[in-house]
Amino acid sequence: MRALIVSTLVAVAQAVASLDEVCTTAYAQSILPEDGIITGITFDASSVVASATTNYSSASSDFFPAANFDFCAIQFAYSHAGLDDTVLLEFWLPSPVNFQNRYLSTGGGGMAINSGNDSLPGGVQYGAVSGITDGGFGSFDNEFDSVFLLANGTVNWPSVFMFGYQAHHEMTVIGKQLTRNFYGMADSTKLYAYYQACSEGGREGWSQIQRYDEWDGAVVGAPAFRFAFQQVAHLWSAAVEKQVGYAPPPCELTKILNLTIAACDPLDGRTDGVVSRTDLCKLHFDLKTTIGEEYSCAASSGGMGSSAAPAQTGKVSAKAVEIAEAILNGPKNSKGQQMYFSYQPSATWSDAQTTYNSDTGEWEVEASGIGAEWVTRFLNLLNSSSLSMDDVSYDAMQTWIMEGWQMYEDTLQTTWPDLSTFHGAGGKVLHIHGESDYSVPTASSVRYWDSVRSVMYPDLSFTKSADALNDWYRLFLVPGAGHCSPSSDQLNGPFPQTTLKTLIEWVENGVFPTQLNATVLQGDNEGEEQTLCAWPLRPLWTKKGTVMECVYDQTSLDTWSYDLDAFDLPVY
Ligand SMILES: *[C@@H]1O[C@H](CO)[C@@H](O)[C@H](O)[C@H]1NC(C)=O
Ligand SMILES: *[C@@H]1O[C@H](CO)[C@@H](O)[C@H](O)[C@H]1NC(C)=O
Ligand SMILES: *[C@@H]1O[C@H](CO)[C@@H](O)[C@H](O)[C@H]1NC(C)=O
Ligand SMILES: *[C@@H]1O[C@H](CO)[C@@H](O)[C@H](O)[C@H]1NC(C)=O
Ligand SMILES: *[C@@H]1O[C@H](CO)[C@@H](O)[C@H](O)[C@H]1NC(C)=O
Ligand SMILES: *[C@@H]1O[C@H](CO)[C@@H](O)[C@H](O)[C@H]1NC(C)=O
Ligand SMILES: [Ca+2]
């Protein structure tokens, strides 16, 4: 009986069934992949829930435009032999008439392995079945850090591997087969598989590209990879403030930021409030020129996530500028050796934010939340997210980087530079990163692109190897953008909202993305269409700021590469 229903429904699905005909729990149960699809995995058929939504209105996001569509949501659980675990998956499947032989995995941000239903519309609107995983963390809302420790001192290692790369691999393998089964696709029909996510989701994307050939293409934004360095580096700004012995009021840092943007905006050839060339800013702008400039900010009552602050007025001090310079020069140990690199000038001073103590009337240095949690929970294995800045010396940071690097080299670090498997199968990558990112240094993506280039094309010149890599892995820096989104400090900056569409065009129709489409999503120029230059070319506006060219500028490129001489091993 079941077999009959299944074969009838599969035929129906193939023959363009309505959503209601196929979006039933019984049908979803019948098309679950077989347990053996991955060794040791057992599906729980009783966990399957299917529900149809018609004319769903998905709002415009930074990574996809607004759209209306119908979909079937299918959720179910599986477990791993020998572990008493439950891993939840959810897929949104386009109605059969809109399905375009595509599958999309999506990822998380921060300590989350998924973005809930925020990321799923990005695929469904292009006729792709789109998936999220809960990593086995208890629910789609539970984050990795809440399950990482079994007790103080005892790591839940399976959760580390799941977050590191395993859960995403399983989701893709299962999701692709589920897609084939649901629509009754013939084996001979190509199913295109994609990925799209930013930040931690960008790292999750690279975790797969570095190991598997399961996707035809991936959009990876501002990946939080080189994890051991990335997380400790969040503490650098506050460590500098401690060392200098000054806790600048936020208004003073914002004034320095505003003056930096104003001075560096025109260096790219177009005065539009956007610093498209932070490298020229590094080369030509002297932060010391801001000393003595007056700043003034009104009192704020605080609210969601920010504490109340009094009115702040004063003049930019030499100490604040000393701090700003040291932050931008990047983490160095007490011998002055470079441990990592920092954000670009024009990035918001996010890690440097001080807090106001209303009892003492003083501003106080505060550890970045994610940096603090990294050290306390993930290195010291204590069930807490706090860290005293008194414990954070420059050399302690180096020790923490080494410790995290060794402990998580095979799970979270995510900088394996040989992508032969993925490339050999014809995989393509569009990697984007905000030029003014305040959370993951833009230079981090540049360094990884360059590591892949030099590891995979060791015998070619820089130009030839860059060309060879750019045939299938392209990096686009996004002028004026912050972390995975446009910046409120540089309203006229463009953002590449249709990158997945570009990737699909490239993979399926061979449309090569020489430059990347981007649109101004806010401010006076909202709707203006621009394009982004592929690394290592850099944007330069000519003809009085009306035409953007992509130029090769060695002096600028040199500002993006760092000799991390604090470490003897290569840092990819
Ligand atoms: C779908 O929803 C939009 C509003 O989001 C509405 O304008 C449109 O008429 C609806 N279409 C159908 C077929 O119901
Ligand atoms: C999306 O997630 C939110 C929050 O979890 C939920 O309220 C909403 O119903 C979800 N929408 C759909 C279409 O699943
Ligand atoms: C960690 O602390 C949280 C809240 O403080 C508590 O709910 C949780 O059970 C603790 N976890 C462990 C493994 O101790
Ligand atoms: C910085 O610039 C923004 C946007 O132009 C403005 O709203 C803000 O008041 C300025 N802040 C300071 C401290 O000058
Ligand atoms: C685990 O460590 C945290 C942070 O030091 C501490 O607050 C908590 O009491 C410890 N839990 C146990 C069971 O000792
Ligand atoms: C990029 O923009 C151009 C010009 O608007 C347009 O013709 C092209 O279709 C866009 N490409 C993609 C993939 O959206
Ligand atoms: Ca500009």
Closest CA to 280 of 346, 348, 351: 346
Give φ, ψ of 56 to 5 degrees: -70, 135
In the predicted model, is pLDDT for residue 223 greater than 90? yes
Query: Which is catalytic among the residues 134, 483, 487, 489?
Result: 483
**Which H, E and C letters describe 144-201, residue by residue?**
HHHCCEEECCEECHHHHHHHHHHHHHHHHHHHHHHHHHHHCCCCCCCCEEEEEEECHH
Closest CA to 164 of 196, 206, 119, 220: 206
- Residue 321 burial class via C-beta count within 10 angstroms: exposed 0-12, middle 13-18, buried 19 and up: buried
In the predicted model, is pLDDT for residue 567 greater than 90? yes
Closest CA to 196 of 429, 543, 383: 429
pLDDT at 14: 55
Name the residues around ion ligand 7, CB cutoff 5 A. Answer: 265, 268, 270, 272, 274
pLDDT in tens, 9-33: 555 555 568 999 999 999 999 999 9
Q: How many CB atoms lie within 10 A of CB 169?
A: 18
Of all atoms in ligand 6, which is nearest to the CA of residue 529?
A: 5
Give φ, ψ of 321 to 5 degrees: -70, -35
| Ligand with the closest atom to the CA of 154 | 3
Closest CA to 196 of 215, 211, 212: 215
Query: Which is catalytic among the residues 216, 351, 437, 450?
Result: 437
pLDDT at 1: 44
Residues 489-495 have a mean pLDDT of 97
Report which protein residue has its CA nearest ligand 5's atom 11. 152
Of all atoms in ligand 2, which is nearest to the CA of residue 140?
A: 5
Report which protein residue has its CA nearest ligand 1's atom 5. 57
* 279 annotated active-site: no
Q: Are 176 and 191 in contact (CB under 8 A)?
A: yes
Report which protein residue has its CA nearest ligand 4's atom 12. 255
| Ligand with the closest atom to the CA of 53 | 2
Ligand 1 pocket check for 57: Cβ under 6 Å: yes
Ligand 7 mean position to 268 CA, how many Å? 5
pLDDT in tens, 82-117: 998 999 999 999 999 999 999 999 999 999 999 999
Residue 387 is which amino acid? L
| CA atoms of 519 and 398, how far apart (whole Å) | 40
| Ligand with the closest atom to the CA of 250 | 4
* 199 annotated active-site: yes
In the predicted model, is pLDDT for residue 4 greater than 60? no
- Residue 369 burial class via C-beta count within 10 angstroms: exposed 0-12, middle 13-18, buried 19 and up: middle
| CA atoms of 30 and 73, how far apart (whole Å) | 15
In the predicted model, is pLDDT for residue 35 greater than 60? yes
The pLDDT-based confidence of 552 (bands split at 50, 70, 90) is very high
Ligand 5 mean position to 378 CA, how many Å? 14
Instruction: Report helix, strand or coil for 344.
Output: coil
| CA atoms of 37 and 364, how far apart (whole Å) | 54
pLDDT in tens, 293-305: 999 999 988 766 5
pLDDT in tens, 266-322: 999 999 999 999 999 999 999 999 999 999 999 988 766 567 889 999 999 999 999
pLDDT at 425: 98
Residues 218-226 have a mean pLDDT of 98
Ligand 6 mean position to 517 CA, how many Å? 6
Ligand 7 mean position to 516 CA, how many Å? 18
Best residue for ligand 1 mutational test, from 54, 56, 68, 69 (most atoms within 8 Å of Cβ): 68
pLDDT at 15: 52
The DSSP string of 434-466 is: ETT-SSS-HHHHHHHHHHHHHHH-TTS-HHHHH
Query: Which is catalytic among the residues 105, 159, 199, 207?
Result: 199
pLDDT in tens, 322-356: 999 999 999 999 999 999 999 999 999 999 999 99
Of all atoms in ligand 6, which is nearest to the CA of residue 513?
A: 13
Paired residues of 91 in beta bridges: 74, 131
Residue 230 is which amino acid? Q
The pLDDT-based confidence of 154 (bands split at 50, 70, 90) is very high
Q: Could you tell me where the beta strands, DSSP code E, fall in 300-345?
A: 312-315
DSSP state letter for 374: I
pLDDT at 303: 67
Residues 137-142 have a mean pLDDT of 98
Q: CA of 243: how far to CAs of 211, 291, 338, 365, 391, in Å?
A: 41, 20, 17, 11, 12
pLDDT in tens, 454-483: 999 999 999 999 999 999 999 999 999 999
Residues with CB under 6 A from ligand 6: 498, 501-502, 505, 517, 529
The pLDDT-based confidence of 7 (bands split at 50, 70, 90) is low
In the predicted model, is pLDDT for residue 204 greater than 80? yes
The token duo for 404 is 């995290």
Ligand 5 mean position to 151 CA, how many Å? 9
pLDDT at 397: 98
Average pLDDT, the chain: 96
Ligand 5 pocket check for 385: Cβ under 6 Å: no
* 437 annotated active-site: yes
Ligand 4 pocket check for 295: Cβ under 6 Å: yes
Residues 246-273 have a mean pLDDT of 98
Residues with CB under 6 A from ligand 2: 53, 56, 116-117
Ligand 3 pocket check for 383: Cβ under 6 Å: yes
Ligand 5 pocket check for 383: Cβ under 6 Å: yes
Q: Give the start-to-end residue ranges of the domains of the chain.
A: 1-190, 196-224+417-536, 231-409
Ligand 4 mean position to 251 CA, how many Å? 9
Q: Give me the percent of the chain exceeding a pLDDT of 70.
A: 97
pLDDT in tens, 399-448: 999 999 999 999 999 999 999 999 999 999 999 999 999 999 999 999 99
Crossing angle between the packed helical segments 236-244 and 318-329, to the nearest 10 degrees: 140
